[in-house]
């Protein structure tokens, strides 16, 4: 999986505030950060979503935790992404808070879907709609939606043209009574977005109005 770009800067590799050997918050990290990380580690998700901790960026905030996820259907990877939790106990002027969530989500598309002029606006609305659908309060959202197409020539000419959608975004989660945001709910909302872009059907009646991308014919290629 490609390293996410966000914030909107590069998510360089590091492990500030994180025990890289166990994927946990470091013991000396502030309690709100440890609480937020533990909620991410123990969240129960849809069975189609495979999640694992990964190395977090070391330059964007004093404390950071990252995970990556893949939406899997049988042997096919339908979508993947990376979610990073940043924490600055002193607060951050641009965030307007002490926490920030940064993400990269991507999936392959059928060419006819990639040609839809409204696709970027729709994908961005999926992000904000996923957060709102979970009843979450957040601030300072920012990001980009990018469509990319590949055409193959020469020795690769037999390959079908490929298209990909990519969402890079960040937002400030509202902090709770003890200073930690509800990262379990934010992770669930992020997984809702992953499933939508993967083309999976809604999981429950509350998601019945959600329109997802049609599933692709071929496997996702990183």
**156-172 burial, b for 16+ CB within 10 Å, e for fewer?**
eeeeeebbbbbbbbbbb
pTM greater than 0.85 (yes/no): no
Domain limits, the chain: 30-207
Distance CA 31, CA 17 (A): 11
Distance CA 193, CA 175 (A): 22
Question: How high is the pLDDT of residue 204?
Answer: 56
pLDDT band for 175, please (50, 70, 90 cuts). Answer: very high
Q: Are strands 24-25 and 18-19 parallel, antiparallel or unpaired?
A: antiparallel
Q: Look at residue 122 and tell me whether its pLDDT is greater than 50.
A: yes
In terms of Cα–Cα distance, which of 36, 41, 33, 40 is closest to 17? 33
Q: Look at residue 192 and tell me whether its pLDDT is greater than 50.
A: yes
pLDDT band for 14, please (50, 70, 90 cuts). Answer: very low
Q: What is the mean pLDDT of residues 147-174?
A: 88
Distance CA 83, CA 222 (A): 17
Q: Look at residue 4 and tell me whether its pLDDT is greater than 60.
A: no
Q: Look at residue 3 and tell me whether its pLDDT is greater than 90.
A: no
Give the lowest-confidence range in 13-17, 64-68, 81-85. 13-17
């Amino acid at each position: 999986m490609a390293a996410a770009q966000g914030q909107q800067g590069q998510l360089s590799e590091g492990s500030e505030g994180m025990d890289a050997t166990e994927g946990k918050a470091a013991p000396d990290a502030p309690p709100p950060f440890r609480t937020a990380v533990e909620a991410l580690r123990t969240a129960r998700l849809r069975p189609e979503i495979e999640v694992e901790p990964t190395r977090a960026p070391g330059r964007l905030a004093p404390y950071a935790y990252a995970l990556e996820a893949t939406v899997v259907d049988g042997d096919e990877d339908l979508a993947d992404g990376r979610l990073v939790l940043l924490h600055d106990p002193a607060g951050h002027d641009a965030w307007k808070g002490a926490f920030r969530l940064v993400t990269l989500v991507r999936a392959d598309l059928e060419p006819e879907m990639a040609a839809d002029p409204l696709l970027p606006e729709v994908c961005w609305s999926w992000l904000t709609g996923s957060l709102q659908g979970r009843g979450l309060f957040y601030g300072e959202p920012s990001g980009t939606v990018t469509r990319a197409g590949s055409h193959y020539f020469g020795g690769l000419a037999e390959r079908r043209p490929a298209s990909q959608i990519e969402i890079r975004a960040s937002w400030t989660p509202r902090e709770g009574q003890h200073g930690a945001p509800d990262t379990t709910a934010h992770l669930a909302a992020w997984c809702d977005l992953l499933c939508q872009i993967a083309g999976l059907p809604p999981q429950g009646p509350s998601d019945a109005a959600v329109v997802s991308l049609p599933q692709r014919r071929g496997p996702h290629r990183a």
